[in-house]
């Protein structure tokens, strides 16, 4: 099993969700995140005082999948989240040892 | 009864009193939005606490110290109207001229004392113990606000009466100084007074930890906008209500209050756009308050064109003044100095130029300008010296500041045992019912 994690622009979330649903993904975890990559931050001015805001808002999306689906899911996220500008984010995949479904207690691929 | 009750005037003054009281909770939102999320409740509580303390003291001896029989030109006799009960007597029941019950006027004036104290709190955000603030509120309003209000409005030395500085300089005709100082609704009494007190307290109490190094962005700008809007609404009672009657003076004050504020907001936004690149929502809210402050002393002394000029000058100067704290290194956290002291000075002094009866630009000569500068300086010195004494005594006796841990962790939790916003890290809720 794999865990695919994507850090994306917040405004791409709806498209990414739709793309994942179309790819057959039945569940995901979405959380608000903040960070920066090559785009760095921006400046804000309040009553003449300038602040550098280096962490910018992002959305983290996490999907647990079978091994053979991970590249499809990764490509779906990349394709849907891409705008071509700096700050589009990253997607990575890691191997997962075990998954348990809380409701039933079942383990492994059946719990996905 | 010596005068006849005027129901129209009385109704307007009752309405105005309610409008002005609303300004203090409005200020709580205006200030509360500007601090960080961990100290918003304490910021708002300083305004609400001022309502409680000053409201009671006003009824007990405040009105009497302001409008009681003159003692040395400095304050009124505190026992004369103690508890306001004497105002229900026939002899004192209606004010000369306007036919408004004195008790109604006393209620109206209470709200001015309250907001003046609350205004100061913006200078000492995030770091002052709540108990020390409440003690300061009671002592300061007694020793600084009531005397200054008496000096300007209650027949003291900064007014137009025979015992005043203006009468001493320019002579008297029929008991009124030949050149009468003008403070219609509180440029000196409220705004210069609170602005100077804020500066002095900020210096005594010291900077917030991390001031100038850590980001201290406003945590909720919509709160600031809401506060500014409610302040503007309440300010119609402040200025148009200060006419003391529902008449053409109130109408002029209403129109001037509106148009000066429009001009100040536009001027502040333009200043920001040219200097910083963006017209900001915080700038709009700040410009609104700067304009309201500046027109306060002048609301019935200028015409609407003069009000536009006055508001525009205030908008530009206040927008530039809020940056001074970084240059001089004092932490007037929410710019009580930059907005209220500077705005109050602009309004008070510009009457000497723009006043339609006596201003320099209207052929009135230089005398009005001189007396306006005199009362402004007198207010600065009086408020500055006494606030320093009070602030210093509190510092060496009960102490002003919360601990550094409390300040870093958030003064809301340390002083009030509450947090404004729910976060997932707060842990489980343990319910304990206390009988």
Q: What's the CATH code of the domain at B243?
A: 1.10.3430.10
Strands (E), B276-333: none
DSSP state of B94: B
Residue B197 lies in a domain: yes
Q: How close A79 gets to chain B, by Cα (Å)?
A: 32
**Closest chain A residue to the Cα of B274, Cα to Cα:** A48
* Cα–Cα distance, B171 to B165 (Å, whole number): 10
Q: How many domains does chain B have?
A: 1
Residue in B276, B286, B335 nearest the CB of A45? B276
Could you tell me the sign of the dihedral formed by the alpha carbons of B349, B354, B357, B363, in that order? positive
pLDDT in tens, B133-190: 999 999 999 999 999 999 999 999 999 999 999 999 999 999 999 999 999 999 999 9
Put simply, whether B275 touches A (Cβ < 8 Å) is yes
**Interchain CB distance below 8 Å, A47 and B278:** no
The residue count for chain B: 435
**Interchain CB distance below 8 Å, B323 and A49:** yes
Q: Could you give the domains of chain A?
A: 2-111 (3.30.70.120)
* Cα–Cα distance, B27 to B35 (Å, whole number): 13
Residue in B280, B326, B338 nearest the CB of A45? B280
| C-alpha distances in Å from residue B199, one per residue of A65, A108, B32, B206, B334 | 61, 66, 19, 11, 11
Per the DSSP assignment, residues forming a β-bridge with B101 are: B94
What domain range is B397 assigned to? 7-415
* Cα–Cα distance, B191 to B145 (Å, whole number): 11
DSSP state of B5: -
- Per the CB < 8 A criterion, the answer to whether A59 and A72 are in contact is no
Cβ neighbours around B96 below 10 Å, total: 8
Strands (E), A9-97: 29-35, 42-46, 49-53, 56-65, 89-95
- The values of phi and psi at residue A91, to 5°, are -135, 130
- What confidence score (pLDDT) does residue B88 get? 81
- What confidence score (pLDDT) does residue B89 get? 75
Residue B188 lies in a domain: yes
Continuous segment of H or E residues that includes residue B75? strand B75-76
**Closest chain A residue to the Cα of B334, Cα to Cα:** A47
Segment A63-83 shows an average pLDDT of 95
Chains A & B: contacts with CB separation below 8 Å: 30
- Per the CB < 8 A criterion, the answer to whether B228 and B28 are in contact is no
**Interchain CB distance below 8 Å, A47 and B215:** no
- Is the model's pLDDT at A52 over the cut of 70? yes
Query: Strand, helix or coil at B433?
Result: coil
Residue B381, CB half-sphere, CA atoms under 13 Å: how many? 7
- What confidence score (pLDDT) does residue A39 get? 73
Residue B411 lies in a domain: yes
Put simply, whether B339 touches A (Cβ < 8 Å) is no
- What confidence score (pLDDT) does residue B1 get? 46
**Closest chain B residue to the Cα of A48, Cα to Cα:** B323
Q: How close A107 gets to chain B, by Cα (Å)?
A: 28
Residue B238 lies in a domain: yes
| Token pair belonging to B373 | 């500068």
| pTM of the shown model | 0.90
Which residues numbered 200-229 in B keep a CB inside 8 Å of some CB on A? 215, 217-218
Continuous segment of H or E residues that includes residue B345? helix B342-354
Residue B265, CB half-sphere, CA atoms under 13 Å: how many? 18
Q: How close A1 gets to chain B, by Cα (Å)?
A: 29
% of residues, chain A, pLDDT over 90: 71
Residues with Cβ within 8 Å of B412's Cβ and at least 6 positions away in sequence, in order, are: B38, B39, B40, B41, B42, B418, B419, B420
| Token pair belonging to B162 | 């025979």
Per the DSSP assignment, residues forming a β-bridge with A92 are: A5
Confidence at A36, pLDDT banded by 50, 70, 90: confident
Residue in A44, A47, A53 nearest the CB of B335? A47
**Closest chain B residue to the Cα of A54, Cα to Cα:** B215
**Interchain CB distance below 8 Å, B277 and A45:** yes
* Cα–Cα distance, B147 to B382 (Å, whole number): 10
- What confidence score (pLDDT) does residue A28 get? 94
DSSP state of B122: G
Positions of chain B with pLDDT lower than 50, given as ranges? 1, 426
CB contacts of A51 in chain B (<8 Å) are 215, 217
């Amino acid at each position: 099993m794999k865990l695919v994690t994507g850090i994306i622009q917040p405004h791409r979330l709806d498209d990414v969700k739709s793309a994942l649903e179309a790819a057959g993904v039945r569940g995901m975890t979405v959380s608000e995140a903040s960070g920066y990559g090559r785009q760095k931050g921006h400046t804000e001015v309040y009553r003449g005082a300038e602040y550098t805001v280096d962490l910018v808002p992002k959305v983290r999306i996490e999907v647990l999948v079978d091994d053979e689906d991970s590249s499809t899911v990764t490509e779906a996220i990349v394709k849907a989240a891409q705008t071509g500008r700096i700050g589009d984010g990253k997607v990575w995949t890691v191997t997962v040892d075990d998954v348990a479904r809380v409701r039933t207690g079942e383990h492994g691929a059946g719990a996905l | 009864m010596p005068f006849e009750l005027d129901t129209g005037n009385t109704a307007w003054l009752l309405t105005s009193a309610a409008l002005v009281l609303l300004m203090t909770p409005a200020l709580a939102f205006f200030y509360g939005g500007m601090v960080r999320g961990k100290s918003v409740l304490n910021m708002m509580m300083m305004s609400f606490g001022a309502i409680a303390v000053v409201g009671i003291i006003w009824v007990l001896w405040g009105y009497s110290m302001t409008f009681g029989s003159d003692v040395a030109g400095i304050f009124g006799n505190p026992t004369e109207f103690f508890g306001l009960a004497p105002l229900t007597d026939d002899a004192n029941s209606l004010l000369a001229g306007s036919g408004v019950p004195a008790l109604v006027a006393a209620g109206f004036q209470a709200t001015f004392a309250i907001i003046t104290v609350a205004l100061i709190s913006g200078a000492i955000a995030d770091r002052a113990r709540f108990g020390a603030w409440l003690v300061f509120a009671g002592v300061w309003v007694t020793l600084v606000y009531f005397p200054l209000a008496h000096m300007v409005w209650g027949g003291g030395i900064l007014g137009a009466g025979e015992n005043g500085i203006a009468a001493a300089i320019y002579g008297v005709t029929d008991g009124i100084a030949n050149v009468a100082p003008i403070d219609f609704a509180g440029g000196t009494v409220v705004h210069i007074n609170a602005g100077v007190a804020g500066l002095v307290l900020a210096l005594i109490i010291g900077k917030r930890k991390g001031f100038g190094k850590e980001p201290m962005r406003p945590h909720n700008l919509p709160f600031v906008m809401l506060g500014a809007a409610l302040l503007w609404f309440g300010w119609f009672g402040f200025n148009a209500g200060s006419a003391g009657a529902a008449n053409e003076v109130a109408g002029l004050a209403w129109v001037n209050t509106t148009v000066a504020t429009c001009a100040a907001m536009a001027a502040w936004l333009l200043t920001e756009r040219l200097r910083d690149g963006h017209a900001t929502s915080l700038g709009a809210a700040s410009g609104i308050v700067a304009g309201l402050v500046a027109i306060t002393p002048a609301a019935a002394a200028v015409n609407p064109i003069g009000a536009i000029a006055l508001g525009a000058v205030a908008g530009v100067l206040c927008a530039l003044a809020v940056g001074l704290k970084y240059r001089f290194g004092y932490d007037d956290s929410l710019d009580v100095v930059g907005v209220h002291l500077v705005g109050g000075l602009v309004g008070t002094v510009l009457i000497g130029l723009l006043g339609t009866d006596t201003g320099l630009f209207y052929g009135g000569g230089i005398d009005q300008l001189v007396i306006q500068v005199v009362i402004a300086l007198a207010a600065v010195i009086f408020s500055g010296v006494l606030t320093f004494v009070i602030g210093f005594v509190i510092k060496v006796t009960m102490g002003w500041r919360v601990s550094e841990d409390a300040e870093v962790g958030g003064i809301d939790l340390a002083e009030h045992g509450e947090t404004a916003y729910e976060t997932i890290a707060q842990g489980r809720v343990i319910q304990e019912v206390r009988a």
